Structure 1
Amino acid sequence: MSEPYDVDLFVIGGGSGGVRAARIAASYGARVRLAEEYRVGGTCVIRGCVPKKLMVYAGRFAEEFEDAAGFGWEVGAPRFDWSVLKSRRDAEVARLEGLYDANLRRSGVEIVPQRAVIDGPHAVRLADGTRVSARVILVATGATPVHQPVVPGAELAITSNEVFELEEQPKRILVVGGGYIAVEFAGVFANLGSRTTLVHRGDKLLRGFDEDVRDALDAAYAHRMDLRLGRHLTRLERGEGGILAHLDDGGAIEVDQVLVATGRRPNTAGLGLDTVGIAVDPAGAIPVDVFSKTSVPSIYAVGDVTNRANLTPIAIREGHAFADTVFGDKPTSVDHGLIPTAVFSTPEIGVVGHDEDSAWKAFGEIDVYKASFRPMKATLSGREERTLMKIVVERAGNRVVGVHVVGHDAGEIIQAAGIAVTMGATKADFDRTVAVHPTASEELVTMKVPSAPRRPA
């Protein structure tokens, strides 16, 4: 007797969310097919978190060489070779792509290296015209960079996709934007020695982060690069010496590359969603319920394409929860309310929970504990830098509802702090934790006197 469908699950998109969903569904015995039109691994592995973090590491060596002298080391003039970094970075990305591919096949997932679009509630159509029926369809196509706003000459700029394809390091680069991606790449190029200008139309970087964190990053970046806040790009044009970028204040900057990192949009265009009556929201995202189900019962969506919390670990959680729910008979939803995250700027940023302003709105009376200090390493290196540690506490229950760190290894620190905050730790729990000395993170358990919080207007 033939099966009613060609497969139990068809996954459109081979990024973090889609891959996890496919593997877990297959482990439950589902017949799974996955279509990926570019490279298995998705944005994070191929042209996002992983290659970007490798570039962050590369840029930070410049300071390590400089700081070494303060500790008695004699280091010759360092020389950076972009081609070596690109070659080794690309090789590591290819290695990881191979692992993703191998793990999928080992799990019993069939990989289709083509574009797939929805062709009915239980069907997809491949680029070669093949129609595949599926009991369940999962859309996990992620998001893509967009130019916002579109200005004359926008075609001269690159996005965070093309930045990894640069064969030569730009001596002069203009980065446009004020979010994660713009901040991180501006830091990378400045650290690698490119003359870097960061232009953002807002009055501070990283909208949505705690104000003290934003102030600390603004101060650090104003020292590291040409930071222009409250400005925006009006047009680009090709000049004799490079690209001429015009700003709204009438000024112009000549650079070798312009990187526009002003936003990403869910990858839903041309997916066939309209053929089954799924309407995307104004941002282009697919609306889903707590179990990632769309308005069509047989079609689900996870990851950035839903625009819930656009982070790789969340896409993985959502993909796993989907497979548990649909194929493991274990209904599972993902809590998007408390997510530790890091920004790999220099200085690095790690946060979990509420910032000071949102805590006021959520809990009323709060206490804020804050320490800003020169890290121990800087005392001998002579580097002018500051570390910020901040704890936000709900006064009524003494519960820690937010932790914010700016400084070395902030991402590593916030992962551990995130466990405590997720468990509902109180400030008293932090206080009775023995400090690890001498470390920067010991400040999180030694701050005893609240700072004067900023009351909302």
Structure 2
Amino acid sequence: MKKKYDYIVVGAGSAGVRFARLMATKGYKVCILEKSRVGGTCVIRGCVPKKLYVYASNFKDYFSDATSFGWRISKEPTHNWSKLFSSKNKEITRLNKIYIKNLERVGVTIIQEEGSFYNSNSIVLKKSKKIISAKKFIISTGSTPSMPNIPGRELAINSDQFFEMKKIPKNISIVGSGYIALEFAFLLKNLNYNVNLIVRKKTILNEFDKDIGTKILQSAIRKKINIYDESSVQSLTKKGKSIVVVTNKKKITTNLVIFATGRVPCIQSLGLEKSKVKLTKHGAIKVNALSQTSNKNIFALGDVTNRKNLTPVAIREAVYLVNYLTTKKKQTLNYDKIASGIFTQPEVGHIGLGENDLQKRSINYKILQTEFKPLKYAFSNKNNPVFIKVLYQPKTEKIFGIIYIGESAAEIIQSLAISFAKTFTLNDLRNTVPVHPTSSEELVTLV
């Protein structure tokens, strides 16, 4: 006999967990399926462990900066990767238990199995072969790393597998030019590993405003990350304890290859062909503004829809969907006003539209920008400038976007995101009394 629920959520990541928990608190019978650990990519193998690793890597700069302020470091600091790995795992386990506890507390049924659609109103569990059904379904299976189909690909790891590495060799090659590849490159370099970054173009971070890529590339060069640009990986071969990366330009000998070449929606085993759910031309689940698929009883949230692949976005999509299903209140996200951070060194904070976006849409704009050495480095010979860029509409002075590159950039841009909730203009900056002395006050005095 089929077991029936009001809602079955497929995938216990940030969006799925939030949706399931909120609906259960409203009295609905909810089941959530997860083939791995509850928490999803962000908590288990993404944002959270990455940020912990970034925190660890930042200490190298703190130690070197301290001497210019009179501190004497009597011994060269060393880093223990095994200790970091163990501490990271303890924290992830703690968060995983909290997620499970919060779901169980409100009565959500957790089934730790993979499921696929049996038909448009039921799911078959892969291991137990049980069939469960529901009035409505939520697909929130997230995304998975993409790997190139090249000879020797089995010698490399992907960005998810990186977080399961108990030991790291000294020589590492990272393939990719997106934010994951760059974050890995900087954190590993700061932890004293030799890092090669292999990119297909001359530029990096091409999905963002062009100045972000330019400034971070300059910083990577200053950090002595080895950049192999305009290089396409053709094959990997084993040579003793080393791996030889064969590109269109040259051979690179390394000990570990990490592919961070993008992510794709995780839909391969869902049996969507039996659910009447349609896909976009890029292989994501096609949804409307209310996160509803081509099947009126099936909804999709987060990375699996490839709208704006950020954890807070997925969570907000879940909240809006709960509101719609329980009150018929229609809320839609403005994906142009979402803030994001890139945890390189220096850090990047970005909100709104960049030059690339404005040019694609043929929108007229002007720029205010500045670059300066922050007070923190007054005693240092380091070249770590802060960069601020404001893009705005010439007539109304409405701000389209802001870029901040420097220490605590993500924290700063988070505060600015509140202003973007409504119309934000240069005049708002003019009328703001800054906090002094801070680097972020330059955003106000720039106008």
**TM-score, normalised on structure 2?**
0.96
Work out whether 1:433 is the aligned partner of 2:432. Answer: yes
Is 327-336 or 313-322 further displaced after alignment?
327-336
Residue 454 of structure 1 corresponds to none
Q: State the one-letter code of the partner of 1:405.
A: Y
Q: Cα 1:137–1:46, aligned 2, differ >3 Å: closer, same or farther?
A: same
Residue 193 of structure 2 corresponds to 194
1:30 aligned to which of 14, 28, 36 = 28
Work out whether 1:98 is the aligned partner of 2:76. Answer: no
Residue 305 of structure 2 corresponds to 306
1:377-422 alpha-carbon deviations (Å, 9 max, x no partner): 1121332211100111111211111100111111011111122223
Runs of 4+ in 1 over 6 A off after TM superposition: none
Structure-to-structure mapping, 1:31-430, within 5 angstroms:
31-75=29-73, 76-127=75-126, 128-147=128-147, 149-224=148-223, 225-249=225-249, 251-360=250-359, 362=361, 364-430=363-429
Q: State the one-letter code of the partner of 2:62.
A: E
Once the two structures are TM-superposed, the CA of residue 362 in structure 1 deviates from its matched residue by 4.5
1:310-358 alpha-carbon deviations (Å, 9 max, x no partner): 1101110111111221134433332222210001111111100111243
Query: Is contact 1:68–1:381 with CA below 8 Å preserved after alignment?
Result: no
Is 272-281 or 400-409 further displaced after alignment?
272-281
Query: Counterparts of 2:428 and 2:241 in 1: how far apart (Å)?
Result: 59
Query: Counterparts of 2:380 and 2:80 in 1: how far apart (Å)?
Result: 25
Residue 18 of structure 1 corresponds to 16
Once the two structures are TM-superposed, the CA of residue 5 in structure 1 deviates from its matched residue by 6.9
Query: Counterparts of 1:328 and 1:125 in 2: how far apart (Å)?
Result: 30
Percent identity for Structure 1 against Structure 2: 37
RMSD of Structure 2 on Structure 1 (CA)? 1.5
Ranges in structure 1 where 5+ consecutive residues have no aligned partner: 449-457
1:251-299 alpha-carbon deviations (Å, 9 max, x no partner): 2111110000101110111201101222322322110111111111111
SS in 1 for 2:367: strand
Ranges in structure 2 where 5+ consecutive residues have no aligned partner: none
Query: Counterparts of 2:358 and 2:306 in 1: how far apart (Å)?
Result: 23
Query: Is contact 1:56–1:188 with CA below 8 Å preserved after alignment?
Result: yes
Query: Counterparts of 2:102 and 2:241 in 1: how far apart (Å)?
Result: 48
Query: Counterparts of 1:266 and 1:359 in 2: how far apart (Å)?
Result: 27
Q: How many residues are aligned here?
A: 444
Q: State the one-letter code of the partner of 1:146.
A: S
Query: Counterparts of 2:436 and 2:352 in 1: how far apart (Å)?
Result: 26
Is 101-110 or 419-428 further displaced after alignment?
419-428
Query: Counterparts of 1:228 and 1:436 in 2: how far apart (Å)?
Result: 42
1:47-89 alpha-carbon deviations (Å, 9 max, x no partner): 0000000001111101101110000111221010000000000
Query: Is contact 1:14–1:140 with CA below 8 Å preserved after alignment?
Result: yes
**TM-score, normalised on structure 1?**
0.94
Once the two structures are TM-superposed, the CA of residue 95 in structure 1 deviates from its matched residue by 0.3
Q: State the one-letter code of the partner of 2:16.
A: G
Query: Counterparts of 2:333 and 2:417 in 1: how far apart (Å)?
Result: 16
Query: Is contact 2:13–2:40 with CA below 8 Å preserved after alignment?
Result: yes
Once the two structures are TM-superposed, the CA of residue 364 in structure 1 deviates from its matched residue by 4.1
Query: Counterparts of 2:20 and 2:289 in 1: how far apart (Å)?
Result: 19
